[in-house]
Structure 1
Amino acid sequence: MKKRFLGKDKFQVSALGLGCMGMSFAYGGAEESQAIKTLHAAVDMGVTFLDTAEVYGPYDNELLIGKAIKGIRDKVQIATKFGFRILPNGRGIERMAGVDSRPHHIREAVEGSLQRLHIDTIDLLYQHRIDPDVPVEEVVGTMAELIKEGKVRHIGLSEVSPQTLRRACKVHPVTAVQSEYSLWSREPEAGILSACRELGVGFVPYSPLGRGFLTGKITDCSGFASDDFRRQLPRFQREAMAKNHLLLSQLQSVAERYECSLAQLALAWVMSKGEDIVPIPGARNSAHLQDNAGAVSLPLSGADISIMDNIFTPESVCGLRYNEGDFNLIDQ
């Protein structure tokens, strides 16, 4: 597995990370022993940059990671996130009660994450979503204090605008920005990617496989668990999926030329956009993990990158990536 660096502080991680959310949240989850087996397989093949968050579950995902990394802490880089108010009762998304990045809440969240993960220091701590009631300067200032206290090594922000990122970097260096980025979600190209490069900030795309759609294995929602949140997303409604499959089918000839899967092709496209980009696709079994890892050694030609760019233009993709209410949490 190749390595890449994030940020001015040269945080070294595997060139491909692993988004762990789907192992216990949003996509129906996975049986614990199978999830741990997959996590161990990831580390064995060099995929050591593991991404989680307190709200995944809530809490279940961090507990899972904590069990999986017992005895191998020195081999992995752990990224987690704070930023939501979590209710004591309910299930899954029902327990999310808006954002909360007040300094005392950040500290409470970090202490909870450290305990659940069974670690002394979080390698990369993100603010999950901007809190409009707490200036980003105050948030980053609190995170910087946690670095001085040895509880955090590097800090990041998620789904932020270039303006917010510039304000944050004046307080403390930001190692990474995490935002959705894939062939069918290219919004970062409109500003945040260039801002990251201007400021020396790494970029971590989540959902680089379009929540599984870009693998070509999803034809409808029938195989989704009843609590899979993709059932509610505009792009996964029947008419939108049919139109987007027409785009995806145009990639098949490119994949055949490289003798690779559509998933590998989509990941290689993301990685071709810069050495400062480290995507974190999810995987709930070793076979998918192995397939994803093959993208790291798949060099795409400039001509084929342009072909893919022109197939999945923002105008050609049908349906929004989130519901309208979800966009209220994104700093634009």
Structure 2
Amino acid sequence: MEDLIMQMRKLGQLEVSPIGMGCMGFSHGYGKVPEAAVAIKAIQGAHDYGCTFFDTAETYGREQFYPGHNEQLVGQAIKSFRKEVVLASKIHISTEEYQADHDLYRTIKRHLLHSLENLQTDYLDLYYLHRYNEEIGMAPVAEVMGKLIDEGLIRAWGVSQVGLDLLKTAHEITPVSAVQNLYNMVERSCESEIIPYCLQEGIGLVPFSPIASGLLSGKITQSTKFEGDDVRKFVPQLQAENLAANQPIVDLLDRFSTSKHATKAQIALAWMLKKYPNVVPIPGSKNPQRIIENLGAWKVELTDAEFKDLDDSLNQLKIYGHRGFEESQQHSFSNNWRS
């Protein structure tokens, strides 16, 4: 644990392990989910390994179960060590609910209190706005989040899938601790504006899909089938023609994984940890062994020379089938594009 403490990272003033755990897959998004007991044991196993950052959302579970299913699983799993971890959840506010309520503070607080009940806790460490709703605006949400911080119901707040203008608007009203955006080796739009601003302002970047929905693990092939409630059916990079075209990226990772005695996924995660000190990826998996493997990436140290070789080589490769920030923004909560 002493080595881990040396690696702790900051999301605003929150201290977290260098890699967190995305818990969505236990309720939604990657096909058939495991039994609850298996999910709970996997989350507890991640904590035993040293993970102190767990991510969920109020909406996770509504496809196969009901909204709040994932929060309830996470709450059950972490209740014995709640004070030792940073717990994050997310709120989605529909236009219809907002128009019916006419009181954004009351609306958001109602959502928050329900999440706290699901999570068996009396506060959240990090509360994200899951997706921006232009019918409501960013400034009013930021003002409410400030009030909830003052009340002690949340320690910090964050935004998800936003561009620089929205982030600035939010941060100037109530300082933002974390931005949860799509970021990985093949989706790098955050590097142009979001990451520099976050570095300047002391904001953490929490990449979802840091292994590109499995592409960077090298385990997905053209024969891999995604069935049922599986968001990977809609990821452009995982379409057969793009899998073949993106094989040079997997081959590049394979070269480094062999020399470092690590997996390709670990190299992909180690690359972003080396590149930016404020990045805390949250890979998601249902497989307990894979969860520990992903967390183990914080032990994979790329030398400056290795990182330069990897980064320079990556920059020379063309990416096929971008999912991209703009495309993600265009998909509403009524479809399968969720983090």
TM-score (norm 2): 0.87
Q: 1:33 aligns with which of 11, 31, 37?
A: 37
- Counterpart check, 1:248 vs 2:250: yes
Counterpart-to-counterpart distance in 2, 1:193 and 1:314? 21
**Paired position in structure 2 for 1:94:** none
- On the 8 A contact 1:247/1:311 being kept in 2, the answer is no
**Paired position in structure 2 for 1:320:** 322
Give the deviation of 1:165 after TM superposition: 1.5
- On the 8 A contact 1:144/1:172 being kept in 2, the answer is yes
**Paired position in structure 2 for 1:22:** 25
Give the deviation of 1:162 after TM superposition: 1.4
- Counterpart check, 1:295 vs 2:304: no
Counterpart-to-counterpart distance in 2, 1:256 and 1:263? 12
Q: Amino acid of the residue matched to residue 22 of structure 1?
A: G
- On the 8 A contact 2:164/2:194 being kept in 1, the answer is yes
Q: Amino acid of the residue matched to residue 72 of structure 1?
A: F
**Paired position in structure 2 for 1:67:** 76
- Computed over aligned residues only, the root mean square deviation of the Cα atoms, in angstroms, reads 2.4
**Paired position in structure 1 for 2:112:** 110
Give 3-state SS (helix, strand or coil) of 2:80's partner.
coil
**Paired position in structure 1 for 2:191:** 189
Q: Amino acid of the residue matched to residue 268 of structure 1?
A: A
Counterpart-to-counterpart distance in 2, 1:193 and 1:61? 29
Structure 1 residues 34-43 or 237-246, which shifts more? 237-246
- On the 8 A contact 1:184/1:314 being kept in 2, the answer is no
Counterpart-to-counterpart distance in 1, 2:94 and 2:244? 37
Q: 2:231 aligns with which of 229, 232, 236?
A: 229
Give the deviation of 1:125 after TM superposition: 0.4
Give 3-state SS (helix, strand or coil) of 2:135's partner.
coil
Q: Which structure has the highest strand share of the two?
A: 1
Structure 1 residues 122-131 or 221-230, which shifts more? 221-230
Q: Amino acid of the residue matched to residue 137 of structure 1?
A: A
**Paired position in structure 1 for 2:175:** 173
Give the deviation of 1:86 after TM superposition: 10
Q: Amino acid of the residue matched to residue 245 of structure 2?
A: K
- On the 8 A contact 1:83/1:128 being kept in 2, the answer is yes
Once the two structures are aligned, what percentage of the paired residues are identical?
36
Aligned length: 318
**Paired position in structure 2 for 1:128:** 130
Structure 1 residues 48-57 or 316-325, which shifts more? 316-325
Q: Amino acid of the residue matched to residue 63 of structure 1?
A: Q
Counterpart-to-counterpart distance in 2, 1:258 and 1:25? 33
Counterpart-to-counterpart distance in 2, 1:151 and 1:237? 43
- Consecutive unaligned residues of structure 1, counting only runs of 5 or more, are 88-99
Counterpart-to-counterpart distance in 2, 1:323 and 1:307? 27
Counterpart-to-counterpart distance in 2, 1:158 and 1:138? 16
- Consecutive unaligned residues of structure 2, counting only runs of 5 or more, are 62-66, 97-101, 333-339
Q: Which structure has the highest helix share of the two?
A: 2
Q: 1:76 aligns with which of 79, 85, 98?
A: 85
TM-score (norm 1): 0.89
Give the deviation of 1:315 after TM superposition: 6.9
